Amino acid sequence: MDEMRVRAAEPGDAGAVLAFWQEAAEGVSVSDDLDGVRLLIRRDPEALLLAERGGEVVGTVIAGFDGWRCHLYRLAVAPWARRQGVATALLAAAERRFAELGGRRVDAMVLDSNGLGRRAWSARGYGRQTDWARWVKPLKR
């Protein structure tokens, strides 16, 4: 089996990443389009991490740090590459990045109905916060 490596995505990866998410990610995000992914890479070129094997994307995670908190989004692994430690490697790389930046706490949005996701986050030491809820407002574009 080819060795896995984790690298930061480049603007030219945006199309492949979107196609990958259609196959591998949970649901659809409000930023799932070329403009959204390219804006992320322009804003923080180290945030979108790709796991690759033999030059093929097998996993992704967005590791965003806003100077205050660390946020993880779009943790996804190709269906055929699951349960081989890809998510574990991506989260380790994300947490290394946060530590280097001085981050103090990291969070992730996890659908209550996503049992698979919940197991993966729990395995990595993340716990559900029961006394907070996310409040959202879409912004006009």
Ligand X SMILES: CC(C)(COP(=O)(O)OP(=O)(O)OC[C@H]1O[C@@H](n2cnc3c(N)ncnc32)[C@H](O)[C@@H]1OP(=O)(O)O)[C@@H](O)C(=O)NCCC(=O)NCCS
* Binding interface with ligand X (CB under 6 A): 24-26, 75-77, 82-88, 110, 114, 116-117, 119-120, 123
How many other C-beta atoms can be found within 10 angstroms of the C-beta atom of residue 44?
15
CB of residue 10 to ligand X, shortest distance in Å: 22
Q: With respect to ligand X, which residue has the nearer C-beta, 62 or 77?
A: 77
CB-based contacts of 113-122 (< 8 A; 24+ apart in sequence): 114/26, 117/26, 117/75, 120/75, 120/87
3-class SS at 3? coil
Task: Please give the full DSSP string across 84-101, using - where no structure is assigned.
Answer: SSHHHHHHHHHHHHHHHH
CB of residue 95 to ligand X, shortest distance in Å: 13
CB of residue 140 to ligand X, shortest distance in Å: 27
Helix axes 14-24, 34-43, angle to 10 degrees: 120
Tokens 């990291």 -> residue: 106
Q: With respect to ligand X, which residue has the nearer C-beta, 37 or 61?
A: 61
Q: With respect to ligand X, which residue has the nearer C-beta, 25 or 48?
A: 25
CB of residue 117 to ligand X, shortest distance in Å: 3
Q: With respect to ligand X, which residue has the nearer C-beta, 41 or 58?
A: 58
